[in-house]
Structure 1
C-alpha cells in the first residue's frame, strides 16, 4: 500500500511463528522485503523494495533523461567600476565533453533499458480495446475492427496452426514471435504501397520531394550528366526521398544525356546509367537493391568498368585554387611540400607525418599536395579519421569507409577488402601511377 508517495506499507501477517534472534522474540511482522532467488544467487543479505510511485520512477531514470550537466555562471569584467545588468546577469551554460560530442554526432545510443518491457493485452472474449474518434460512425467502427486481432487473440490463432508455438506461454511469446501489423500500415485508401515511406507520403505525414527535384533541375543547367548521377546517388543516401522511382523517371533524360547521344540501344543506356549510380552507391555502402530503382537487365560486373575505385579517383576535379596553393605556402609549408613532391617525382616510397597545432595550415598544405599530385595524372587517396576532416579535402573519405573498417571492433576484426588475383595484378601494373 502506498500513502502520499511515501515509503510503501507492506502487509505483515502475524502467523504465530516466532524465533529468538539474539535474545529478541521476532515474528513474521519483522521480516524485511526480500527475494529468495536473489539471496541464493548472491549469497548475501539483499532488501528488495517495491517501486510503485511516480517519484521513484523519476528518481531511477532522471540521470538518463535529464540532459547535459548545466551550471549557472556570471562573468564580471576585471575592473573596479562594475555595472550590474540584472537582465544579462545569468547565463545558461552547459559542458559537453569530446567523447559525448562524438557520441551524439554519430547518433550512437546514450542509454538503453534491459530487459525490454512489452505490455501484453489481456481481455475477455470480444472485449478487446477498440480505438475510435468522437465523430466516427458506429457502423464504420464495427466494420473496421471486426477482422482485427488483438495480441491475445493472435496468440490463440497462432497456436491453432503452429504446433511449435504451443510450447511457449503467453508471457514468453514475444521472445519467439512478433505481431505483424505491417499490412495495415502499408495500406492507404485501399491501396497497398510497396514501402512504409510511400504509405506515409500518401497519408500526408511527410513532405514531398519537390525540393529534391528542384535541386536536380538546377544542377542539370550547369552540371554534366556524370556529376548529376553522383548527385542523384548522394540524394538517395542522405536525403531519403519518399518516391525514388518518380525522381528517377522525372530526371532520367538529364542523367542519361551523354549516353543517349553516343548509343542508340535504350536498354543499354539505362544499364550504363544504373551501373554508374550503383558504383556511387557502393562507395557509400549501399546498392541498387536498397532503393526503388529499375533493376539491371543484363549481368553487369561493376568492378570491370575501369576498376571502380580507380575510376572514382580519376574523376576528381582538380581546383585551380588548390593547384595554385603552392605559391601561397609559408616557409615551413613550402619545405614540407617540396620534400614530399620530390619523393613523388622520384617514385621513392616513404612515410611523412605533418604535425602542428590547429590553425597552422595543415589542411591547406594537404589540399595543395592532393591537387599537384592529381594534376600529374597520379592518384592521391585522401583519408581521414573523421567525416568532418575528410570533407575538408577533395575526394576525401573516412578510414572506415575507405578501408572497410568495421565500427564494432573485436579481437578478430578485419577490414572487409578482398585480395583477388585480378586486383593484385592490377595494382602491380599501376604501381607507378598511385600515391597512397
Structure 2
C-alpha cells in the first residue's frame, strides 16, 4: 500500500494537479505520534526508521505509505485504503456520496481532424449518464428508493405553545376561534387517553404504532396496517419544563392533559426538576448509557471532556456515582503511569 511515486519522482502521475502538487499531499511528513487534524483525517504516525522499499523504480520510505488494515488486505487480497473517520464530517462524507445525485459523464465531440483546435468551454455538455441496469429499472417502474419502516416525528410543546400554520391572507381572529388550528399531536394524544382504553396503555412515543395521525382533520385514528417508528422531537436540558415534559412522556402512560394529576406535580410545583427526577430515578439512566457507550471507543482525554460537559449542562443528580462507575475508563491513561489513586484522580480532575 504505497502511493505513487509522484511529485519530482514522477510529475506525470494521475494524482498531480495543475500546480504540480499531489492532490493527496504525498509524501507525508514524518511524525512521532498520531494527532487529529482540524476538520480532516488524523495525521498518522510515520516513523523515520530508515526502512526503504523499491516501488516502480524508486526508493520510497514511510512517508509514502497509504493508511491500511493488514487483516483486510490479506482477506480481500487487493489494494484497500482504510481511514479513521472520527469527526462529524464523517457523516457529511457519507451523505455526500449517497445524495450526490445522478451519475454524470464528461464527453467531447470532435471531427476526424485531430489537429483542429478544440474550444472545450464552447463544446461542454452537462449530461446525465444512464446505464443499462438503471434504464431497465425505470422502464419497468420499480421503486427507486424507500425508507422502511417510515419514521414519524412527534410534536412536543408546553400548554398553549404549539406551532400554528396559516397563510398570510388569513384573518388571525378566525384562526384563533377555529379549534382545528390549535390541535396538535400532543393535545390529541391527551384527548385519546380520555376516551380510548388502548391509548392509556401505551407511551407517547409508541402511539404511532397503533394510531395514524390524520393531517386533514388533525386527529388520531386506529392504524390498520404498516409498521412505523416514532420519535419525540429532541429537547435540550436547558429548556427546563419542555425537557422534563419529554422525559415524563417517555416513561408515564395515560396522561390526559397538561393539568393531569401526573403532570400537575411537574408544572404546578416550584421545584419541578427535583420532583420529576425522583419519579423517574429508577428508569432514567441516560447519562450512564451515554458514558458507557462513549467509553467503548473514546480515548480517556475525550471521555473526560464528555464527563465535564455532562456536569456543566446536565447537572446530574449523583455526579459521584457517575465518577466512581466510570473512573477506570476516565483515568486509564494516568493509571498506566502507576500513580496512586489520589494522584490519578487529581490529575484527571485538574484537566477540567
TM range (shorter): 0.3 to 0.5
TM-score by length of 1: 0.28
> Which structure has the larger Rg?
1
Which structure is richer in relative contact order (CA contacts within 8 A, separation 6 or more)? 2
TM-score by length of 2: 0.34
Report which of the two has the higher share of helix: 1
